[in-house]
Amino acid sequence: MSLPPRVDSFRVFQWNSGGLPQSKRMELLMTLHEKEIDVFSIKEANLTSKNLNYYPFKRCCLYVHLKFKQVVSGILIGVKKELTADFRIIKAMGTDCDKNEVVFLDVWKSEVLFMILAIYRPSCNSPDFSYVNPCQHTLFVDDFNAHSPMWGYSYTNDAEGKVQDFYARLLSNLYTTRKIPTHIFIKIAEALSQTY
């Protein structure tokens, strides 16, 4: 499996942190450095505009979907400063009854455009995929809270069927491990080497 000729690697890190105290920030900084991560997505970052200043990442540009009233919400995106990126909030928890948080990121690396959808769906909430329109280099980094044996859980919940149907419809590659039931969806015309 190889990347498009102009891109030797594109590394994305996804973490559902359940808040981002300084101890987790230090762990994140070490991971970013050791794994040479291009883009990271932190779900449940629990950041407000007031405390965001306490989270400097010198080598990254930060993009934030600030937390809603719920304690565990918010998405923090970081992109290496040498890459070009465009960030948009697609859905906010307080604007819809389904409570999903979704951000969209265009990232250019070596003249190749990667589109990243970072999605957080709280428990007991039905996923809505009406906003999804994947194309050639689309990556989903998500936390759907959809429990399924397909990605390491021993039981299922109400969202599992919708998420499995969604992935099946997209003719995708699904990367997951049994130890960590988080997955990365990649839809690319040319197969990618995965890094997790």
- Specify the pLDDT at position 79: 95
- Specify the pLDDT at position 189: 33
- Burial letters for 29-53: b for 16+ Cβ neighbours within 10 Å, e otherwise? eeebeeeebbbbbbbbbbbeeeeee
- Residue 170 C-alpha from the chain's centroid: 17
Residues of the chain with pLDDT under 70: 1-7, 69-72, 94-98, 123-136, 142-153, 155, 157-196
* Distance between CA atoms of residues 138 and 113, nearest Å: 9
Closest Cα to residue 79, out of 116, 45, 43?
116
Residue found by looking up tokens 């040479």 in the block = 36
Q: What are the structure tokens assigned to 41, written together?
A: 């997505």
* Distance between CA atoms of residues 193 and 3, nearest Å: 7
- Specify the pLDDT at position 135: 67
- Specify the pLDDT at position 106: 93
Helix (H) or strand (E) holding 67: none
Are 98 and 128 in contact by the 8 Å Cβ rule? The answer is yes
Q: What are the structure tokens assigned to 67, written together?
A: 């937390």
